[in-house]
Amino acid sequence: MSATPPKKRLYSVNGMVLGAVLGSLAAALYMAAHNYMALGKPVLARRTLRDGLILYGALMLGGLLAPAAVGWALIFMVLQGGLTWFLASRLQGPSIDWHQQAGGQLHSMFRAVLVGIFTAFLVLFLFAVIALPLALIAQGLA
């Protein structure tokens, strides 16, 4: 009697890295949490989002404190991609491998690209709607 393959698709480690480079660490956080939920581990999904958002906040703060130059932007992109690869391959790599060996499928790289691009627009929107007005208000009060 053969086991039925897993029905839910997962994002690959490479997909998460691509999403992080295109969209930010927030895209990789979404994909990692999705993977944990698909694997039936909602506690790990919530923990990943909580801890990841703290790390993302620290990276964003570092980005705000860094000089405004293209070089720093590239450094932050590489840092987010490298950090995503390191953490995703260590924390989810074996589970993704098991999923594939059991006959489970992965989401396409195109979908990972779309998640990355959507996340980039979402982060820009949140920055424009929340952070920018707060900075302008703070300047007016100073």
Q: What is the domain range of residue 84?
A: 13-141
pTM recorded for the entire structure: 0.85
pLDDT digit string, tens, across residues 41-77: 999 999 999 999 998 888 888 877 777 777 887 888 8
3 found inside a domain: no
Reported as half-sphere exposure (CB side, CA atoms, 13 A), residue 52 has a value of 23
Whether 6 is covered by a domain: the verdict is: no
The verdict on residue 82 lying in a domain is: yes
The string over 98-133, giving b where at least 16 C-beta atoms fall within 10 Å of a residue's C-beta and e elsewhere, is ebeeeebebbeeeebbbbbeebbeebeeeeeeeeee
Residue 60 within a domain? yes
Q: Judge whether 8 lies within some domain.
A: no
